[in-house]
Structure 1
């Protein structure tokens, strides 16, 4: 389970993510949907600590991700970058498993 509680991130005074709260249950498909530049990728990068949030809390299975070693955390999370990180001749499942 992934829980975001009031998560925000700014870059150079511009809010990229503003007070996002999310509850994604285990084995449930969750979609972040929005226009380009609305903060979807920034939000996902905060979940695996590629970017640190300015405020709010992110928990995975009840544990605050700030208490986890970033490398250990990332090894436990599947993360597929869009476009350049995908193989166009693979299915979605094969891209994720690759």
Structure 2
């Protein structure tokens, strides 16, 4: 597990890259859209502590595969966030 600060840095870079892309293309909004009706849903956390398990229904969820899955793997995060396509078919852009 990479520290939170490493992921935060990648996330900030991604948001700047996304905003610059939107500015260049003239987009005003973007929204991620799940078009896969068969995408399985998983808990966001895989911790087994009792207090976590009792509150799982209150936590955010994630999908079983990318781009909806949080892998907790810094190398995968670098590839996805620094080098992944912005217009990837999941993000809807509008003017």
Interval of TM-score (by shorter of Structure 1 and Structure 2): under 0.3
What is the TM-score of this pair, normalised by structure 2? Answer: 0.22
Larger radius of gyration between Structure 1 and Structure 2? 2
Structure that is richer in strand per residue: 1
Q: Considering fraction of residues, name the structure with more helix.
A: 2
Higher RCO structure, 1 or 2 (CA under 8 Å, sep 6+): 2
TM-score (norm 1): 0.22
